[in-house]
Chains A and B, each alone.
Chain A
Amino acid sequence: MSDLANTDYLECLLKSWSIKSTESLSWLNQLRAHAIDCVNTQKLPTRRDEEWRFTDISPLTHLPYQPSQSECNLQLHDIEHLTLKEAKNRLVFVDGHYSSNLSTIIDPTALVIGNLPEFVAAHASILESHLGQHVQFDNNVFAALNTAFLRDGALIIVPKNITIAEPIHLLFIATQNEVTSYPRCLVIGETGSNVTLIEDYVALQQTTYITNSVTEISLAANAHAKHIRIQRESTQAFHLANCAVSLAHASNYQSTSISLGSQISRYNLHVRLTDEAAECVIDGLTLISDRQLADTHTCIDHVKPNGTSRQQHKCIVDDAAHAVFNGKIIVRPHAQQTNSSQSSRNLLLSKTAQVDTKPQLEIFADDVKCAHGATVGQLDQEEIFYLESRGLSEKAARNLLTYAFGAEIISRIPVTSLRQQLEQAVLSQTQSN
């Protein structure tokens, strides 16, 4: 692909951009202007870029989809099957645009929750210090584009020492064909707070569109967050997502991300343990078939001592699908006593399925514990024999083991109804007859 096509593509996207009249804050305009500058100095990545070596997004260059317009005609009953009964607070975005009709906010006094623009004036200083401050734009044209188009977004601020018992559902619904949507989330956990988030990308039909999302999560000292991320877009869709997490002293971030949809998806998760004794647990499951491509890039950056990270990523790949996992772990020179483990396990269900897995450890401290391992393979013959010796047919044994491979990750999701939905999805995709 020529660079010309590249530049055209980005220009074409930017042309559709215009400053909305409602937004008069200079810091926000500056943020956008900076993002546009970043877009202008970058090119669409190609497979010549190390970070995109296995993922060819050239099909995108033919699809300079314009930003979606806000034209939501959905009623609550249209999305009822997508709601989760445990989640009392729900923010719904349709093609990236906030829908107050479909959202429910039960307790606006306990925390700050709602659509970003509503809070820009009242919470200017905290937003200014967080919005666009955690995600990196340089060498990340999609995060820059998202910021350039920044308008609606989910904002959650959990106040000091407050625990929000029920999970918060951030539901991003795609309805329009041949558009780009730019979902955005900002989650701030103040000192000692505790929250569970479900970031959920769904489509109502098998439409073709691009989702370019950015999520930023900042946890202050001793704050806890569980972050469940479900990517179940249309299998015709393109999903390009960035999530940046900053962890302060003794904070705890647990993430479970499940990738099921999209023809091409890319998820960058960047976690920075910026202060001592921070902890993160990062689990991932990719379950794809046909000609899907799902790429997960994670970076866990231990900046200060006594940090802990544990990561398990699994892929189940069928047909001619292609999964990519790149797990970088950085231990900076002063991050002594870091304890980090990473495991990448991959199950290939067909001869044409493909996995590229790459653990990448960059360790600059000398007193650390870092374990990592990667396996790619088929089901274990001894495991199959064990189940057969209990009366299960070979097929039933294979189905059960394949299901179990995915269910191990899903079983860690602390929201029962969501877990059941996903178990069902895994069951229907892993059971051959």
Chain B
Amino acid sequence: MIDRNSRTILSVQGLRASINGTEILKGIDLTVKSGEIHAIMGLNGSGKSTFAKVLAGHSAYEITGGSVQFEGNNLLELPPEERARAGLFLAFQYPIEIPGVANTQFLRLAYNTVQTKRGKEELDPLEFDDFVREKMKLLEMNPDFLDRSVNEGFSGGEKKRNEILQMALLEPTLSILDETDSGLDIDALKTVANGVNQIANKNNATILVTHYQRLLDYIVPDYVHVMQAGRIVMTGGKELALELETRGYDWVNTGKSITGAIA
């Protein structure tokens, strides 16, 4: 929801980043305030997933310009784990499989690491088990997934649920969901969206990175941004997503949007 009195969580100004000498992000400006849900849409190769990874601190990308403030602090000088501890969360497009590590071990390790850094109490295995099972209900996840290896042999939908479960456990201030809708059937999509909606509140914010409008039927954004060639070229309300769906990405270049404003 948009609220005039909300605080700024993320402020991105003129962000430029490259990988192996190729510039991918060419000057991004974006402000996200508490309580807001932003959707970043764009074609493959527009730089939207890179933007998500750069915010989370992926070391393969080199920052070549601009600034990112996260709750008033310089995000770019923090290593990825400190960004996570500070309250930034990235739900991966392709979650990593870790054979040999039980999901519950991994979830508890992540939870306790983040809790400790935030000056809160750790949970022992029994306490954590109760806690995580409660959170799993939110995503209609079978508790059997606790004992299996992290993401190993999970279907696409199960992996995405597991990402949102981690989000629910870590209680981030800013969640970035990178193509969370890809590979989900409609039932899984509804469940995942329902989970995200329940986690979203007036004190945190969400950025949805997506190619398609479909997800936005279930998680309604306050803002829709269109990315193209490493820049946000248009920003509008939730109607912009529908317009993109019917008219395609090509018309963005013509600049004749009804609802969107050229950035």
Contacts and interface: CB of A to CB of B under 8 A. Distances in A.
A386 to B, nearest CB: 4
Contacts of B56: 385, 389
A131 B170 CA distance: 60
Interface string A401-412: 101111111110
Interface in A15-40: none
5 contacts: A388-B84, A389-B56, A391-B170, A394-B81, A408-B100
A296 B113 CA distance: 39
B123 interface: no
Interface of B: 56-60, 79-81, 83-85, 89-90, 92, 95-96, 98-101, 106, 109-110, 113-114, 117, 149, 166, 170
B259 to A, nearest CB: 34
Nearest to B86: A391
Given A387-B96, A390-B84, A407-B100, 8 more contacts: A385-B58, A388-B80, A388-B81, A394-B81, A404-B98, A404-B99, A404-B101, A404-B149
9 smallest CB-CB distances across A and B, nearest first, come from A404-B100, A407-B100, A408-B100, A390-B110, A388-B80, A386-B96, A391-B84, A391-B114, A408-B99
A206 interface: no
A78 interface: no
A299 interface: no
Given A389-B56, A390-B110, A391-B110, A401 B98 contact: yes
A404 B100 CA distance: 4
Given A390-B110, A391-B110, A396-B113, A385 B100 contact: no
Nearest to A400: B101
Contact of A386 (B95, B100, B149): B95
A392 B59 contact: no
Contacts of A403: 100-101
Residue among A381, A388, A394, A405 with the highest chain B CB neighbour number at 10 A: A388
A382 interface: yes
Contacts of B83: 389
B100 A390 contact: no
A392 B98 contact: no
B117 A388 contact: no
Interface of A: 380-383, 385-394, 396, 400-401, 403-411
Contacts of A394: 79, 81
Contacts of A406: 100
B180 to A, nearest CB: 15
B81 A393 contact: yes
Contacts of B100: 403-411
Nearest to A386: B96
Given A391-B117, A391-B170, A392-B109, A385 B98 contact: no
Contact of A391 (B59, B85, B92, B95): B85
B101 A381 contact: no
Contacts of B90: 389
B165 to A, nearest CB: 12
A389 B101 contact: no
A181 B202 CA distance: 72
Contacts of B109: 392, 396, 400
A347 B134 CA distance: 38
Given A386-B96, A392-B81, A381 B60 contact: yes
A389 B113 contact: no
A391 B81 contact: yes
Given A406-B100, A408-B100, A389 B84 contact: yes
Given A388-B80, A390-B170, A408-B100, A381 B113 contact: no
Residue among A391, A407, A409 with the highest chain B CB neighbour number at 10 A: A391
Contacts of B80: 385, 388-389
Contacts of A380: 96
A257 to B, nearest CB: 17
Given A389-B90, A391-B117, A392-B113, A383 B81 contact: no
A326 B260 CA distance: 63
Contacts of A400: 98, 101, 106, 109
Contacts of A409: 100
A410 to B, nearest CB: 8
Contact of B59 (A383, A385, A396, A407): A385
Contacts of A407: 100-101
Contacts of A404: 98-101, 149
Contact of B96 (A382, A391, A410, A411): A382
Contact of A390 (B59, B149, B166): B166
Nearest to A385: B58
Given A389-B80, A389-B84, A393-B81, A383 B98 contact: yes
A403 B58 CA distance: 23
Nearest to A406: B100
Contacts of B95: 386
A410 B100 CA distance: 8
Contacts of A393: 81
B110 A383 contact: no
B166 to A, nearest CB: 6
Residue among A380, A400, A405, A410 with the highest chain B CB neighbour number at 10 A: A400
A396 B85 CA distance: 14
Contacts of A385: 56-59, 80
A123 B95 CA distance: 58
